Amino acid sequence: MKWRNWVALGLTGAAAVAVISFFPSTPSSTPQQNASYTSKSNNSKSPVPSPAQEQQLKQSMLKRDVIATERLSRLDAKGHLRSLAIELGNMSAQQQKSFISNMQKDHKHFQSIFWVDIPSGKEQQFRRPQFKTTALEQKQLGTYISFARKALTQSKSYESPSFPEDDPKYFVAAEPTSNHKHGVIAVMDATILNRVKDHQNKNLRLIPYPKEGKYKVESIHADTLRDMTVKTGHDNENASHYYENEIVVVFEQNPSAHEMKQIESEINCKPPRRIANTYIFQSKDKSMEQMKQYFTAKWKPKYIEPHYLYMTNETDVLNDGTVEIPNDVLFEEYQWNLPIIETNRGWNLTKGNNDVIVAVVDTGVDLNHPDLQGRLLPGYNAVAPDDKPMDDVGHGTHVAGIISANVNNHEGIAGMMWGGKILPVKALDSSGSGTSYSVAEGIIWAADHGAQVINLSLGNYADANFLHEAIKYAYDRDIVIVAATGNDNTERPGYPAAYPEVLSVSATDTNLGRASFSNYGDYIDVMAPGESIASTYPDNQYAALSGTSMASPHVAALAALIRSINPTLKNTEVMDIIRNNVIDLGEKGRDKYFGYGQIDVYSALQAAGGAGSPLQFWPQFYQRKINKILEGR
């Protein structure tokens, strides 16, 4: 089945999702308005919305993500309840209690579960101790549970609307057993909807982010480096954020221990953090500007810059043209993003190799998510080095799932890789932002611990030398580095995506147009799906998120698949294969709105070759073989 057929299937699912929204809606754009923003594959230009139009489009996208997440949650709950009904039917009362108690520890969104004996009307409730409701919520809960009981007596499934209506927290679902003698009712936590809403307000820059004043954060104009105040989400495209009492310094010659004590005394700071010859000083009473004047006048450093913040932007070969359709519950209805880039056909060439490691430098990853079990390596927490890289935001877990969620396990979503490992590196804190130090440290750590691909779904508009050095460190170690361009609908280059060592990724929609929020410019390499992408989310849940942050891991996964099918390729060769084997969009060849085009997994894997090296890289391939022979003498 071609990707065009799959797009139609995916759009049908999206249409079904839109029917059950329980959130207040805002006026939608007219068809004429929508047409003016949509860029098909044969369009030569990608119109750029005004700030007001961009805001409206982003609000619409946010609403769509929340609606899709709600539908994902309900579909996932239905699948769990059907399995639960079968398992509980074969257990004693004590076994049921123990089983559900353990389940609710890992699946906190199952707030209360009822096991119902339909003929007698008897039931047993298993309620999480933390489950508390208001009087109004309890009244609504009682009404919907009574509707669920009635549905079970008629051997029917049941789903309530989310409630309370103005601030959805719960919904009730019920599933009968196949023999119609028993049934399961569950009170499901729906607060993931508000979490996704808050997450996407930041991710799509619908609000000023991060808030100035928190952790002494200030903003500067990315061009002039003059102070500015970010009042609206749209202001983010001109702003770069930094810690106003910290500074990054690289000395021509590292200070001696005596000189370092002198510096600490004169700027009133603790011993600085250090990576190689780069130091980060944090003063108790001096601003970044004051420290800049101090170091420039007294120590003549090699370079000096603010400590910038970075923010979130997860055998035999069959060549008969068939596609493999995994049995993951959410795949057929919601994962339009994989067929449209020919992932299913690509799986006929390779499904990935467990020897290939992809580092996700992000907010961490939910280390306990069932759809990521067996895929995660021990990682690193650059924010709190003594802690595990557990995700406290959701962003990194979502990115990791796009790359390598378990496939064909009748659970949730399918990742792009059946094999392959994720190396989780937490460089962004619970606010979803991190410093150039933590991001650089995360990149260097990943490079030193086996990463062959690094995904960076984060960015800033300031070109930080400190971060660039870390990027070059990884690049020089033959690592493919992939980064998201940003969600501000601006031509301004974002970093690290705009560094020449990085494969930069912007986002497309279901129509192969540039996503309304996606950044653009001459530095863009390729495009990948980035609207309402279904993936894993903390607490064993699933969410649909939009952003170039979601587009980037598609490309990182493709790089890992290429390195699976042909481990001899260098990072530059992998990057060239991805750029040169695309679905061309916009103007013929490379353009600033679509780069080289949208990635084509099947074509790229074909170009990478299987048993040997692809034809275009034979000279390099044989040169390396000769070098190895000579080295062995």
Task: Give 500: exposed, middle or buried? Use CB within 10 Å, 0-12, 13-18, 19+.
Answer: exposed
Listed in sequence order, the DSSP H helices in 317-378 are 331-334, 343-346
Across the beta sheet with 582-583, the strand order is 380-381, 421-426, 357-362, 453-456, 480-484, 502-508, 526-529, 598-599, 582-583
User: Is there a catalytic annotation at residue 410?
Assistant: no
On the question of a cis peptide bond just before residue 210, with omega within 30 degrees of 0, the verdict is yes
336 vs 533: CA distance, rounded Å: 8
Residue among 239, 220, 169 nearest 197 (CA) = 169
Residue 492: count other Cβ atoms within 10 Å of its Cβ.
16
User: Is there a catalytic annotation at residue 362?
Assistant: yes
CB 29, CB 36: distance < 8 Å? no
Contacts of 339 (CB under 8 A, 6+ apart): 1, 3, 5, 6, 7, 9, 10, 323
334 vs 332: CA distance, rounded Å: 6
From 65, 76, 328, 362, active-site residue: 362
CB 308, CB 462: distance < 8 Å? yes
CB 603, CB 561: distance < 8 Å? no
From 283, 438, 549, 552, active-site residue: 549
Residue 174: count other Cβ atoms within 10 Å of its Cβ.
26
User: Is there a catalytic annotation at residue 549?
Assistant: yes
The beta strands (E) that lie in 392-438 are given as 421-426, 433-435
Task: Give 491: exposed, middle or buried? Use CB within 10 Å, 0-12, 13-18, 19+.
Answer: middle
Q: β-pairing, 239-250 with 217-221?
A: antiparallel
CB 164, CB 143: distance < 8 Å? no
Residue among 406, 419, 404, 321 nearest 359 (CA) = 404
Residue numbers annotated as active site = 362, 395, 549
